[in-house]
Structure 1
């Protein structure tokens, strides 16, 4: 795909309506309700039609590490555990496991009938190879830090240790033994993540490009990859080699790659998609008439400040920008998908040892306060020696049209509440991500979806040396708290460390949280059983079509 970049200086009507307190424009009366959706022909194979928005980054387990890759991969392959319908880990490729009394050694027993899509048996050695490949610095995986829970993995990844020193071992073909660096109550959740999926060792060693085409892809999940027309659509069919194939009701799934929500909505209306996101400019009506569905999610939409670029090398200026954004108006009038405003970074749906939600305990850490924001901006400008604020560019990807609308709303709020003029830069998703990773963007859009069900997953990413950081921000106290939380066996103490770390993150303000994700969608009445995990990825194992 070609890079698309432009500078936008004016707000759209939706933003103007936002500031005036009015809802965005409603759809016309011509065919907007789900009842007008065409009914796909059901006499043939049961093929579920979904939209993946964009081309997967990679279907190689350690390399994808984003939702557009892992929603697909989660159905082509499978780990030792799988998140069940209740969001809890349940036996998958492993039929059972034992945990040592000290909570540090896990012994997994693989199923005798676990097979790869090419018919080969899945072996414990496939997991050992895959997990060491995840941690191997030569692999260059953005997900490598997840393996640090395993003893020896962090040393291996940092170049201070070896693969042999990483404590994961295939005892025999069906027994995998793992020693953790410290007890981790979330480990069974973690290994359901696609980063920990096995790979077929012989295939990977013979063909480094194995995960790029349908003809060479080998998986061990409910479906197998059958066709892949890049940047257009991807098809999978039921995997008859899957150990639980009897549970899989669909004959196949076709994933479209449509990143315009209105186009996708029209395809839903005509039966070319069975489910789609709720278009933001139609959300009010679709929720009001009951056609839109919503369920709890996890994850955060936010912006990153590049603390190495002026003016965001000044903390007070970053804080001022944070306090100038009315997050409640953003979710009420722009996104309109029943999200909660993000007045901190860690989202809801993570439970403390006493059962309370981490977010409720931590409370609101950032607030909308235009007057305080103006004061902080003035103080920050004085500290930095500015009489005029250096130019500010809001950068966003074009992966979804909603990204642009949110950027425009922020642009208007910064102008209204701070008196700051900004430009908007739009670019194609891959180019955007590349520039953000290289710290070439000043103020840029981001999102985080949890890889497993623990707040440490959110906080780990902003350690000084984590590739996910992408802000240039470094804080020794924050780093120490996160490292200590990883090592702490007492969950009560561990959660307090995580709260303390989040307070530092918000106070230092290398990021601007915007809203917490919910899962809102339109779905055909023909569809049943799609599991949209709040703490994981879309699961089609139990899906069916009437």
Structure 2
């Protein structure tokens, strides 16, 4: 080859490498030119992508965009027909009849039937499935009884009358039931590929879904790749060619990738967040749920209520929000988040704040009284359990210092990978644990039921008959004003007994590339990417 030919080839190769390095090639498109939305799961590997088991925010985000329930939330957080084209409710509010759209298909082309919904819901309730979300279906007739082994599966009030008709009977009128059917737990599953399989959703191979996107590849602890589901009934509305979820846990790396344009939605280290909000690089939107800390009430020293109260009162929430998280959150002085709206209005606005912040002197007095009651000259060992994350660590360290300064107590810190963290929390293998709550439907009952005796979300060992009865009475009360009174009374009792203490209510701090449009962020539930477009 002539010398000039080599030079031309080298020049072409250099230009090609430069374009690829700058993201100027096809980095945001697939082989067919479809736009690829690049996201990140900040906690790493999802705990499960089984609709019956996905119950943390990252797992639900993936499942929600691979599956679709009978209904789907719109941009105003209102339920709209999805897999079901029609919903009918009986006059007494006890029976719902869902008529599925004609021609629904799974991602492999098989028909989606009402039987797939019946099978999926009963699978969630099956005690052998051990779903942490089964309680969401206790509103269904005999749902709780079947989950507890006290009823047969055929007695559960879910029945496919034919391929397109699903009839659901409830225990009592449940005003938010239709909203629940938009939740990931209520997704159908492909019975033929799931039945008899120990882990049917553990790999990309054979993963079948019915939502806007379909699983293509899953490199564990690295990346999940989904593509547009061409069999989806509303595929024309889906503009993306697919979604890629990476699994980077370090927030500095996440932010660097976002700044380089390698992620469309990003995150940032806690020490940068405040300045990013001030500069307008990140925006703040309302959200739901809250950060809180659980006590293990079965383990000393938190078997003593006064000690629990002392540890709750010694925390300066406002200092944490202002100096540690810097995300403009509202401090939590109750458990139910603002924006939890019923027929009576916003629950938080209609009732008083239950707690006061930073009561240091009273905290020290209560600690002394509690230790005297137990005969302790020295407080039993306390350690804070948290899942590995830069912000969780900084908050835990701040609380650790508050206990040293205001109670004279030294506490340890235990950081765990997310899977181990949840296992230890569920097994009550901790003394004090960082926790979070994201509601499954927009009603205060969803928050407060979490601390009823034996509830899978309780994870404190705490049990209180009066509290349980208040929740039962509220659940069976048809007068909305009386129901709210019962729920406010229950929240007050929860704060008095202190099996946990709230820190701050969540908001959304959003880092989003300017060319990304159409992300639906709901007050309740994970992000919906069905309508996302990436502008050129």
| TM-score, normalised by the number of residues in structure 2 | 0.93
Q: Quote the RMSD (CA, aligned, Å).
A: 1.4
Deviation for aligned residue 1:250: 0.5
d(CA) in 2 for partners of 1:378, 1:331: 28
CA distance in 2, matches of 1:362, 1:330: 24
CA distance in 2, matches of 1:201, 1:352: 36
Q: Which deviates more from structure 2 when the two are superposed, residues 273-282 or residues 443-452?
A: 273-282
Tell me what 1:512 maps to. Answer: 501
Q: Which fold has the larger relative contact order, with Cα–Cα distance below 8 Å and residues 6 or more apart in sequence?
A: 1
Name the structure 1 match of 2:105.
Answer: 115
2:209, 2:55 → 1: CA distance? 17
In the alignment, what sits opposite 1:33?
none
Match of 2:98, SS?
Answer: strand
Match of 2:375 in 1: 385
Question: Residues 490-505 of structure 1: matches in 2 within 5 Å?
Answer: 490-505=479-494
What does residue 419 of structure 1 align with?
408
2:510 aligned with 1:521: yes
Q: Partner residue of 2:341? A: 351
Query: Is 1:485 aligned to 2:456, yes or no?
Result: no
* Pairwise CA distance, 1:207: 3.2
- What whole-Å deviation, never above 9, does each CA across 1:100-130 have from its counterpart, x for those lacking one? 1111110001000321111111101111111
Q: TM-score, normalised by structure 1?
A: 0.91
Aligned equivalent of 2:19? none
> 1:340, 1:278 → 2: CA distance?
20
State the SS of the aligned residue for 2:321.
helix
Q: Which secondary structure state, in structure 2, belongs to the residue aligned with residue 430 of structure 1?
A: helix
> Could you tell me how far apart the structure 1 residues matched to 2:93 and 2:115 are?
23
SS at match of 2:201: helix
Any conservation in 1 of the 2:342–2:443 contact (CA below 8 Å)?
no
**Partner of residue 443, structure 1:** 432
Cα pair 1:38 1:269 within 8 Å, conserved: no
SS in 2 for 1:138: coil
Q: Are the counterparts in 1 of residues 87 and 99 from structure 2 also a CA contact under 8 Å?
A: yes
- Displacement of 1:387 in angstroms is 2.0
Greater shift, 101-110 or 476-485, is seen at: 476-485
Q: Output the CA distance in 2 between the equivalents of 1:286 and 1:81.
A: 36
CA separation in 2, counterparts of 1:472 and 1:354? 32
Q: Give distance in 1, aligned partners of 2:48 and 2:531.
A: 24
Q: Which residue of 2 aligns with 1:318?
A: 308
| 1:174-323 to 2 correspondences below 5 Å | 174-205=164-195, 207-323=197-313
Q: Does the CA-based 8 Å contact 1:259-1:401 persist in structure 2?
A: no
Matched length: 508
Structure 2 partner of 1:363: 352
- The separation in 2 between residues aligned to 1:383 and 1:483, in whole angstroms, is 33
Shifted more, 269-278 versus 434-443: the winner is 269-278
Mapped pair 1:536 → 2:525: yes
Which runs of no fewer than 5 residues in structure 1 stay unpaired?
A: 1-36
In 1, distance between residues paired with 2:372 and 2:67?
55
1:57 counterpart residue number: 47
Q: 1:403: how far off?
A: 0.7
User: Unaligned regions of 5+ residues in structure 2, if any?
Assistant: 1-21
Moved more, 485-494 or 126-135: 485-494
Displacement after TM superposition at 1:39 (Å): 7.3
Aligned residue in 1 for 2:4:
none
Instruction: Give the CA deviation at 1:38.
Output: 7.3
Distance in structure 2 (CA, Å) of the matches to 1:277 and 1:497: 39
Distance across 2 between alignment mates of 1:351 and 1:530: 23
| Counterpart-to-counterpart distance in 2, 1:420 and 1:39 | 56
Contact 2:254 2:268 in 1 (8 A): no
Query: 1:210 Cα shift?
Result: 2.0
Q: Which residue of 1 aligns with 2:455?
A: 466
Structure 1 counterpart of 2:158: 168
Q: Are 1:278 and 1:521, in contact at CA under 8 Å, matched by a contact in 2? A: no
8 Å contact 1:210–1:217 — kept in the other structure? yes
Q: Deviation of residue 214 (structure 1)?
A: 1.1
Q: Assess if the C-alpha contact under 8 Å between 1:182 and 1:489 holds in 2.
A: no
Secondary structure at 2:109 match in 1:
coil
Larger Rg: 2
